[in-house]
Structure 1
Amino acid sequence: MPLPFAKRLDNVETSAIRELFKLLGKPGIISFAGGFPDSAMFDVEGLREASQRALQEEPGGALQYGATEGYEPLRTQLAAFERSKGVTDLEPHQLIVTTGSQQALDLLGKTLIDPGDKVIVEGPTFLATIQCFRLYGADVQSAPIDAHGVQVDKLEEMIKAHKPKFVYLIPTFGNPSGALLSLERRKKILALAVKYQVLVVEDDPYGDLYFGEAPPPSILALSKDVPGSREWIAHCGSMSKVLSPGLRVGWLIAQPELLAKATMCKQFSDAHTSTFAQATAAQYLKSGRMPATLKNVRQKYGERAKAMADSLRKELGDAIEFTEPQGGLFFWARLTGAGGKIKDAGEFAKRAIEQGVAFVPGTPFFAKDADPSTLRLSFATADVAKIREGAARLGLALSQR
């Protein structure tokens, strides 16, 4: 007899990206599909020293059970890290440490979503977020975006129409869009949060990965300029893209009542994030090595992004359109069908695999009204030579009949 699985599982399916990875075992394949950082850029020596200091200075704290809210030295360091980026009035007790920012999003789903609640996300947005919110029964709606992030006028119309439980945004170099929400739009979103008394969840795993000029301050940082907006902002941060995803260190900043509920739910799931990982991250931040690490990854990823932009233009021409990202890990592109070339990204992905290169079709990143001509390409784990070769292979796949 089949097991009586929970009905909420009917609302979700296996990640299309994880399923794609099963096709990547072909020798010599170049992957633009992953959404993870390049392991060659991890500061292994710095992390080794940090872990050793954690064991030497406070072995009990690093190896014992810990507080659900997080290891206090790490909360102190994370508060200082956020203050350095403009969140001037943040104190350690105003954040909790999570097992990656993914857990922060899951905790928000657990604490806020009742079956049938409306939740507005960007279209496109982070695939796992759509799956997470649907798992808790949300009716997920997509607000349209452009190169400057979510279109605020359309977002306001949707807030008025749907009265959502919350709005979820990745305003800085979003996944998959790579879009950067403008300063003007960030301030308008804060005004909307106050006007409609709606929670805005700001997910910010990529904000430190800029290639040139720094992006506008986070929505959380700007909330000090919009009276009454701070209580309507929940901010999710992560060490995964800038230090190491293996540490699984993220954090959630929110108003006290929401943090208390999230902490209670975290107690039910993992009791606390690994204290050893937290102690290591705390020592690393304390060491002062983060600025040099960020400088290195910004330079390398910037070079790769430029190589991908140039190579896509050279090899695919007007059959593809995109806005070159100013940071993050991703290109969001659209097949135009120019010259009679293929316009369906799903079919193009199959042809690309045959040519030895992989990317992710864009359809799964939409909660509603998916655009089948869209695709996501990541430049993070391929060097410049592989990016050029991969683009050449995409050109061959595009010309395939």
Structure 2
Amino acid sequence: MTPSTLMGPAPAAAPAPPLAARAASVGASPVREILALTERPEVISFAGGLPAPELFDADGIRAAYDRVLAGEPHRVLQYSTTEGDPALRNAVAERLTGRGLATGPDALLVTTGSQQGLTLLATALLEPGDTVVVENPTYLAALQCFGFAGARVVPVPSDEDGIDPEALAEVVERERPKLLYLVPTFQNPTGRTLPLARRQAVAEVAARHGLWVLEDDPYGELRFEGEHQPWLSSLPQAADRTVLLGSFSKVMAPGMRLGWLRAPAALRRACVIAKQSLDLHCSTVDQAAAARYLADSDLDAHLARVRDAYRARRDALVDGLAAALPDGSTWNRPEGGMFVWARLPEGHDATALLREAVARDVAYVPGAPFFAGTPDPATLRMSFTTHTPEEIREGLRRLAGVLRTSR
């Protein structure tokens, strides 16, 4: 007999341990899944929150990479500090200061897009079971981030001007949250902008009740019309408790995956330590190229061209919605950013109608996943940035064939 015969059959392998509870409880992003459905080139998609690729300053960015690789290859291909490239932090600090928020480079941490800033702050601030309050609806990936942190997310009612400060005060008094998350300028998904009076009221609530404010601002430089609104971070009532997130994704190129975080010193240091555990630092060469681009190119002139194009695209979308959506629908006209928020009449379900829309080679994002509380199935988000006005008009013609015949 062989040794294996004497020992008998091998025991069955034990199952692998289960995933962490947070991995099982946080679902995939419906928006990312919808984008996969719309990859066919014939689809006119209002779904993605993507900058227009034909407007990237590809020549200027390539020249910046060429310069840093030719001039400092040993530095830009090496490891670097967690806090980020000093020249890039200095450039960001100068832009923030020039726009009314006095900032030194040491107040900044470079991140892998502003999305990583969300993760770092959740890691540094939130214990499982802590409460986070959010405007309703809100940015979907923020809901995912807070879910992974084990936080309890509580929605605050919003209207056409954004979060309601009186409702916020009531929720904060009742729930005692640690953190308030806001996208106050050209919000994702609604495109709404919080007026100055509400910003001041929100800052006062944060100061009175002692909570952190996370101000996410990836779209603020995409204003087409109207007056600039000051950051909450610049308001004295809450300057000591407000974290500002920014991104190069909407103003330079998302493929570079660069953003930044501005925070009070102790919290920023905690975020630095959290980042060391995640990725050590952002790509050295990408940071160097971004800094070189900001030094050598005119980002403001580039943004002026982008804003002009986006304004025309917004106008084509908003002006065509009356003929594309069912009678009784409502929508807004954002002063900038990338999104229009629409609501179909009662009885319509934007999620149920999406599959038919994709079959007709047009797409949007249903609004329901953006709600932290009870979703409104009649809502939808439409992005106007990635198609020309002519393509937008054709997309709306296709959409009318779905939505104006639905019940």
Question: Normalising by structure 1, what TM-score?
Answer: 0.95
Does structure 2 retain, via aligned residues, the 8 Å contact 1:117–1:138? yes
What is the match of residue 200 of structure 1? 213
Cα distance in 2, alignment partners of residues 397 and 35 from structure 1: 22
Kindly state the Cα deviation for residue 63 of structure 1 after the two structures are TM-superposed.
1.3
Choose the corresponding residue for 2:306, options 297, 311, 320.
297
What is the match of residue 81 of structure 2? 67
Q: Residues 27, 98 of structure 1: CA spacing in aligned structure 2 closer, same or farther, 3 A cutoff?
A: closer
Paired residue type of 2:21? K
What is the match of residue 242 of structure 1? 251
Cα distance in 2, alignment partners of residues 196 and 302 from structure 1: 39
Query: Which has the larger Rg?
Result: 2
Kindly state the Cα deviation for residue 84 of structure 1 after the two structures are TM-superposed.
1.4
What is the match of residue 149 of structure 1? 162
Cα distance in 2, alignment partners of residues 365 and 125 from structure 1: 5
Cα distance in 2, alignment partners of residues 352 and 257 from structure 1: 49
Does structure 2 retain, via aligned residues, the 8 Å contact 1:351–1:400? no
After TM superposition, the structure 1 = structure 2 runs for residues 45-64 of structure 1, keeping only pairs within 5 Å, are 45-64=59-78
Does structure 1 retain, via aligned residues, the 8 Å contact 2:326–2:344? no
List runs of 5+ in structure 2 lacking aligned partners. Answer: 1-14
For the residue of structure 2 that corresponds to 1:325, the secondary structure is coil
Kindly state the Cα deviation for residue 356 of structure 1 after the two structures are TM-superposed.
1.4
Alignment of 1:314 onto 2:323: yes
Alignment of 1:76 onto 2:81: no
Paired residue type of 2:348? K
What is the match of residue 6 of structure 2? none
Cα distance in 1, alignment partners of residues 36 and 294 from structure 2: 36
For the residue of structure 1 that corresponds to 2:252, the secondary structure is coil
Say what the alpha-carbon RMSD is for the aligned residues: 1.4
After TM superposition, the structure 1 = structure 2 runs for residues 364-383 of structure 1, keeping only pairs within 5 Å, are 364-383=369-388
What is the match of residue 295 of structure 2? 286
Question: Normalising by structure 2, what TM-score?
Answer: 0.93
Cα distance in 2, alignment partners of residues 313 and 304 from structure 1: 16
Kindly state the Cα deviation for residue 215 of structure 1 after the two structures are TM-superposed.
2.4
After TM superposition, the structure 1 = structure 2 runs for residues 185-264 of structure 1, keeping only pairs within 5 Å, are 185-221=198-234, 223=235, 226-227=236-237, 229-264=238-273
For the residue of structure 1 that corresponds to 2:37, the secondary structure is coil
Cα distance in 2, alignment partners of residues 203 and 68 from structure 1: 21
Cα distance in 2, alignment partners of residues 178 and 336 from structure 1: 20
Identity over the aligned pairs, expressed in percent?
42
Cα distance in 1, alignment partners of residues 286 and 232 from structure 2: 28
Structure 1 runs of 4+ aligned residues shifted over 4 Å read none
Cα distance in 2, alignment partners of residues 209 and 111 from structure 1: 30
What is the match of residue 390 of structure 2? 385
Kindly state the Cα deviation for residue 2 of structure 1 after the two structures are TM-superposed.
5.1
Cα distance in 2, alignment partners of residues 390 and 350 from structure 1: 15
Cα distance in 1, alignment partners of residues 35 and 259 from structure 2: 25
For the residue of structure 2 that corresponds to 1:200, the secondary structure is strand
For the residue of structure 2 that corresponds to 1:122, the secondary structure is strand
Does structure 1 retain, via aligned residues, the 8 Å contact 2:326–2:404? no
For this pair of structures, how many residues does the alignment match?
Answer: 392
For the residue of structure 2 that corresponds to 1:375, the secondary structure is strand
For the residue of structure 2 that corresponds to 1:326, the secondary structure is coil
Cα distance in 1, alignment partners of residues 87 and 73 from structure 2: 13
